[in-house]
């Protein structure tokens, strides 16, 4: 998902930066508002940021394609606090990696933020809402949302690269298939693993952070019987 420094033509780099900027600014305001209005959210907000910080630092081998890649970890934050919050937290992670790790870059920060911190969280959140909407339980929705946030990020990166580097013969479509071939297949086992980690996280949260999850609308205010059964 990290398009390397200088690897997008200047026009594309500028275009994606302009596209991502309003989401990040809006996200920053969403974070400030959340912390100001619900100071008790700060702990969970930290957990959401920490989750994406850990996961995006780890390079995991993939069962498909004999290559390795990073998970994203943006799904849980999008479920808990809605996607705008992740636009800021995700961009902070990318900035850290661009400045200190030479991973991604300043010129490609806009494009990477758009894929990682905007499209990924929104795709995950959309999956979460639609699966909960048809009456499914929390954990299946979490699994799908976290996995899809990961996959959607890499699909967006492939799209960005295909727009910038259309194939000489097969054009945009050919280039998109080529870049999806590099990213998407490798990413499938990672997305599944990340989805399982998301389920583990929410299993812990449903027991230990029940009041917060109820306030955030993730869990229904439960009658006493289920509270006892969950422990």
Partner 1 sequence: MSRRTLVTALLVLAVVALFAVPLLLDGGTSEYGGTDAAVTEELEAEGYRPWFDSLFSPSGEVESGLFALQAALGGGVLGYVLGRLRGRRSTTPAAAAGAGAQ
**What's the token pair of residue 40?**
């008790």
Q: Does 19 interact with partner 1 (rule: CB under 8 A)?
A: no
134-193: contacts with partner 1 (CB under 8 A): 154, 161, 165, 178-179, 182-183, 186-187, 189, 192-193
Smallest gap from Cβ 96 to partner 1, in A, equals 7
Q: b/e for 193-202, b at 16 or more Cβ within 10 A?
A: bbbebbbebb
* Burial 81-115, CB ≥16 within 10 A → b, else e: bbbbbbbbbbbbbbeebbeeeebbbebbbbbbbbb
Residue 60 DSSP SS3: strand
Q: Which stretch binds partner 1 (CB under 8 A): 17-25, 79-87, 104-112, 115-123?
A: 104-112
CA 72 to chain centre: 5
133/137 with CB nearer partner 1: 137
Q: Which of 111, 155, 199, 218 binds partner 1 (CB under 8 A)?
A: 199
Of residues 68 and 130, the one with the C-beta less far from partner 1: 68
Asked if 116 touches partner 1 (CB under 8 A), the answer is no
Say whether residue 223 binds partner 1 (CB under 8 A).
yes
- Applying the rule CB under 8 A, the residues between 35 and 74 that interact with partner 1 are 43-44, 46-47, 49-63, 66-70
Tokens describing residue 91: 């961009």
């Amino acid at each position: 998902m990290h398009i390397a420094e200088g690897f997008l033509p200047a026009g594309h780099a500028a275009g994606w930066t302009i596209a991502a900027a309003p989401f990040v600014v809006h996200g920053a305001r969403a974070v400030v508002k959340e912390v100001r209005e619900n100071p008790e959210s700060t702990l969970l907000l930290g957990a959401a940021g920490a989750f994406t910080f850990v996961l995006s630092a780890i390079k995991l081998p993939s069962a498909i394609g004999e290559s390795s890649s990073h998970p994203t970890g943006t799904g849980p934050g999008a479920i808990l606090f809605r996607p705008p919050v992740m636009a800021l937290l995700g961009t902070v992670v990318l900035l850290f990696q661009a400045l200190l790790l030479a991973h991604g870059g300043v010129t490609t920060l806009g494009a990477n933020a758009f894929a990682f911190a905007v499209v990924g969280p929104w795709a995950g959140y959309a999956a979460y809402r639609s699966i909960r909407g048809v009456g499914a339980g929390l954990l299946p929705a979490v699994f799908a949302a976290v996995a899809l946030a990961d996959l959607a990020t890499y699909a967006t990166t492939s799209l960005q690269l295909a727009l910038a580097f259309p194939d000489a013969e097969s054009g945009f479509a050919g280039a998109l298939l080529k870049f999806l071939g590099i990213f998407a297949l490798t990413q499938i086992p990672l997305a599944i693993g990340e989805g399982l980690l998301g389920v583990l996280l929410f299993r812990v949260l449903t027991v230990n952070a029940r009041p917060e999850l109820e306030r955030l609308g993730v869990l229904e205010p439960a009658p006493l019987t289920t509270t006892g059964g969950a422990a």
